[in-house]
Amino acid sequence: MDMVQIGAIVLSFEEAGDLSELIPWKSQDAWLLRDQLMQAEPALVGFVPISTCNRIEFYYSLNNAAAHYSLFDALLGLLPPLAPGVRPNHLLGRDAARHLIRLATGLESMVLGETEIRAQLKDAYEAAARHHTLDRRLRILFQQTFQESRTIRASIPMDRLPLSVATIATRHLLRRIAPQALNLKEARLQGTAVVIGSGPMSRQSAEALSRYFSSIVIVNRTLEKVAPLARRLEAESVEFSEFLANPGKFFKTNEPGVIVTATSRPDAFITPEVLGRVFDRGVPQLALVDLALPHDVSSGCTDDSRVQLITMDSIRPELEGNRQKRAEAAAMAGETIETALIRIEASIISGVSSTLLREIQKEIRDKSRQELETLLSHRLSHLRQKDIRMLYDWAIRAHREMNRIHKRGLESVLTHYYGGNGEPGLSEHTD
């Protein structure tokens, strides 16, 4: 079946343990890597790389299912070596599709049901479309996953849980600098919170901080990307180069400040020199929240006693405590996920086989039309024009119904065939 030609290579916080182990892979040019993979493994057809703060994944499709393991070995040969004991997970066929569904619904995230991941998946899908690396299988898989994930999320109990890493980081920050603010319904802190970046993590951070800080500044290279958010939060928007040139002017004198950064830049641009220009403004304390990987804050910044640094590793214990909640929610959503998986596979089979189906349907349609015209010119020649029109309408509806039955039939066959037992002949590649 066509789903056996889909695979996923996953390196996340689960496999890596220490998030810093992701950096060597995250620093690679994914599209150059794809070109190199095409040369090493000609069976590669589709390719969608996904990179977030706590994972890097490669979804791919092949024109030969036997090439899964040679592609896995080729990828590992092209990427920087990982630390001893760290090995990516290789998922094939239905296991890969199931993982993507769980990922889109937040069940594979550090924070149960996090809301950023779906937007990050859509960004990855759109990037693959721009680079023309989506084949029909991956296109259908991602499009159907986006649709199904909305229904699945509704079945996951997430009331009163923090739904993003940014939310947890904000709470961690406030416990350090102003624990009393956590119990306030309105912003009470008079300092300035600067948020750098336009991705989901940055947007979530700006949303969370706006409930506590009276002054929010959003920094990005392209102001158009953050303008709607800035207007909604009544925040100031500043171009990235302008902020780095004179960061001090955006903070209030004699009030502590916060910088939250979650960019995809390869360099650490928050340096002691940048912070020095902030302290020259008269800012007594700075809390830095670095949610980027690689880090945006250079190591020398913490040598200053006026600086507090919070990273993903700082909030790791809270994130680890989410593991049991994720397992419980996944169990509750399991049946819904399996049903969605069957629908997605039916769509892939139907979509990939559409050329053959169109030929079959055309042959049936042409033959039916000939038989109907023969009847109308002989045994049914006495019918009035109105009755003839009704017969043609009936034939058209029957043809459309046949197309619908085809997909329903695929779903029924898949449901009967798998029965929740997984995919025959394929399993995780973990050796």
- Is 66 inside a domain boundary? yes
DSSP-assigned states of every residue in 392-418:
HHHHHHHHHHHHHHHHHHHHHHHHHHH
Worst-scoring range by mean pLDDT, 143-152, 197-206, 272-281, 316-325? 316-325
Instruction: Name which of 162, 243, 158, 236 is nearest 204 in CA terms.
Output: 162
- Is 38 inside a domain boundary? yes
Quick one: what percent of the chain has pLDDT higher than 90?
A: 42
Residues 300 and 182 occupy one common structural domain: yes
Q: At which residue do the structure tokens 């086989």 appear?
A: 353
According to the model, what pLDDT value does residue 152 have?
84
Worst-scoring range by mean pLDDT, 108-122, 326-340, 399-413? 399-413
| Residue 187 token pair | 């912003």
**Which whole number is the average pLDDT over 152-178?**
75
Residue 348 has pLDDT above 90, yes or no: no
Residue 208 has pLDDT above 70, yes or no: yes
Residues 239 and 295 occupy one common structural domain: yes
Task: Catalogue the E-assigned strands of 146-250.
Answer: 189-196, 213-220, 236-239
Residues 223 and 259 occupy one common structural domain: yes
Burial of 43 (0-12, 13-18, 19+ CB in 10 A): middle
Residues 147 and 221 occupy one common structural domain: no
Listed in sequence order, the residues at least 6 apart from 62 whose beta carbon sits closer than 8 Å to its beta carbon are: 5, 7, 41, 43, 44, 45, 68, 71
- Is 316 inside a domain boundary? no
Residues 186 and 45 occupy one common structural domain: no
Tell me which of 269 and 375 has the higher pLDDT: 269
- Is 156 inside a domain boundary? yes
Residues 152 and 182 occupy one common structural domain: no
Cα gap 212→16, rounded to integer Å: 34
Q: Residue 111 sits in a domain of what CATH number?
A: 3.30.460.30
**Which whole number is the average pLDDT over 108-136?**
85
Residues 125 and 104 occupy one common structural domain: yes
Which residue, 161, 193, 219, sits at the end of a domain? 161
**Which whole number is the average pLDDT over 366-391?**
80
Q: Residue 192's domain spans which residues? A: 165-305
- Is 317 inside a domain boundary? no
Tell me which H or E stretch contains 49.
strand 44-52
Residues 218 and 300 occupy one common structural domain: yes
Residues 222 and 181 occupy one common structural domain: yes
pLDDT band with cut points at 50, 70 and 90 for residue 121: very high
**Which whole number is the average pLDDT over 163-179?**
82
Which residue, 98, 131, 161, sits at the end of a domain? 161
**Which whole number is the average pLDDT over 399-412?**
64
Cα gap 13→423, rounded to integer Å: 26
According to the model, what pLDDT value does residue 424 have?
44
Question: How many domains does the chain divide into?
Answer: 3
- Is 391 inside a domain boundary? yes
According to the model, what pLDDT value does residue 423 have?
46
Please write the tens of the pLDDT for every residue from 250-266: 999 999 999 999 888 88
Residues 219 and 267 occupy one common structural domain: yes
Backbone angles phi, psi at 61, to 5 degrees: -135, 150
Residues 228 and 99 occupy one common structural domain: no
**Which whole number is the average pLDDT over 84-92?**
91
Residue 17 has pLDDT above 60, yes or no: yes
- Is 278 inside a domain boundary? yes
- Is 315 inside a domain boundary? no
Burial of 359 (0-12, 13-18, 19+ CB in 10 A): exposed
> Model's pTM, two decimal places?
0.63
Residues 110 and 253 occupy one common structural domain: no
| Residue 322 token pair | 């989410």
**Which whole number is the average pLDDT over 123-146?**
94
Worst-scoring range by mean pLDDT, 232-241, 384-393, 397-406? 397-406
| Residue 12 token pair | 């996340």
∠ at Cα 104 (157, 204), nearest 5°?
A: 80
Q: Report the chain's C-alpha Rg in angstroms.
A: 27
Bridge partners, 10 (sequence order): 57, 89
Please write the tens of the pLDDT for every residue from 290-343: 988 788 999 899 999 999 999 888 887 777 666 667 677 777 778 888 888 888
Residue 427 has pLDDT above 70, yes or no: no
According to the model, what pLDDT value does residue 50 have?
94
Worst-scoring range by mean pLDDT, 23-32, 133-142, 179-188, 333-342? 179-188
